[in-house]
Amino acid sequence: MSRYRNAVPQLSGGFFLADGGIETDLIFNHGIEIREFAAHTLLTDSAGREAMASYFREFLALAGEQDTGFILDSQTWKAHKHWADDLGANEAELRAANEDSIDFIAGLRDEFSSNSKPIVLNGIMGPRGDGYVADLEVAAHIAEDYHAQQIAWLADTQVDMVTGTTYTQANEAIGLVRAARAAGLPVVISFTVETDGTLPTGQPLGEAIELVDEATESAAAYFVVNCAHPDHFFHLLEGNGWARRIRGIRCNASRLSHAELDMCETLDPGNPEELAGQYVELRKRMPWLNILGGCCGTDLRHIAQIANTLSP
């Protein structure tokens, strides 16, 4: 049974951590292969499952030590039918992957029940297509029908909320928000941006947020920016009303563009101390930011540095 679906606690304030870049950490730092970059495929293998459990335990322990809440993500970014052929999976297997992933993180939440602050189960939903390139234009009504399937699978689990992660276009985000609202699930949109702060479609970040809110009566709980370095969007935020809709940031460690990251054969971990300092500057401009994690290239070192620097 869902614990926070009727009132996600991060909307009431308080400080919440999230994890780093699970795929890049496991692949580059631990030598674990992830088929098609789809982390849910590790759940069917005992060694892969334990590797993910160990990964999340470190972050949950950090949240307990820092006395913060935690947004605990599922591994379902690619567990939807767009990737079925690449994964060699049928509909029943994809549904089972969504259910298993939520059971997995629910078990971890139970394991850390002594943490004093809330642990929120977050169902991750990737875009219909590439998370770096807007290679498939998706109309809002088509996106609503498409994402309704995975949302229905997640709605039948203990999940507290869903997040559309690395979204590249506003229309697909609109469809996801509408589908989640129809299913009674709190929904968050996390856009990714290029080095100039625009979405991969070329649309300005602020314009995309305003368009989603206008088309959905501001039904999204809040917005996040992920899979981009702070330098890529820092300059956009000051003095813009739409920035108040952003509650979370999950930045890359690297300043490289999406195209450059896609070509990398080695990991660019950036500088954890420098990244934490940039998070401090972001919170000075946006004191309402209360959900802080990482994305590609980040690991426990980065999140611990951020937590040590910013935790109340």
- Give the tens place of pLDDT for each residue, 202-239: 999 999 999 999 999 999 999 999 999 999 998 888 77
Query: Lowest-pLDDT range, 28-42, 156-170, 248-262?
Result: 248-262
Per-residue model confidence (pLDDT) at position 257: 75
Asked whether the predicted pLDDT for residue 69 surpasses 90, the reply is yes
Distance CA 43, CA 74 (A): 11
Which of the pair, 245 or 259, is modelled with greater confidence? 245
Q: How confident is the model at residue 131 (pLDDT cuts 50, 70, 90)?
A: low
Per-residue model confidence (pLDDT) at position 227: 93
Which of the pair, 116 or 260, is modelled with greater confidence? 116
User: Residue 119's beta-bridge partner residues?
Assistant: 70
Asked if residue 157 lies in contact with residue 96, where contact means CB atoms within 8 angstroms, the answer is no
Asked if residue 121 lies in contact with residue 3, where contact means CB atoms within 8 angstroms, the answer is yes
* Percent of the residues in the chain that have a pLDDT greater than 70, as a whole number: 96
Phi and psi at residue 158, to the nearest 5°: -85, 5
Here the tokens at position 146 are 């498409």
Closest CA to 26 of 67, 69, 55, 63: 55
Phi and psi at residue 64, to the nearest 5°: -65, -45
Give all domains of the chain, ordered by start, each with its CATH number. Answer: 14-310 (3.20.20.330)
Q: What is the pLDDT of residues 153-163, one digit of tens each?
A: 999 999 999 99
Per-residue model confidence (pLDDT) at position 303: 97
Distance CA 185, CA 74 (A): 15
Per-residue model confidence (pLDDT) at position 252: 93
Q: How confident is the model at residue 134 (pLDDT cuts 50, 70, 90)?
A: low
Per the prediction, the chain carries an average pLDDT of 94
Asked whether the predicted pLDDT for residue 168 surpasses 80, the reply is yes
Per-residue model confidence (pLDDT) at position 95: 98
SS (H, E, C) 38-64: CHHHHHHCHHHHHHHHHHHHHHHHHHH
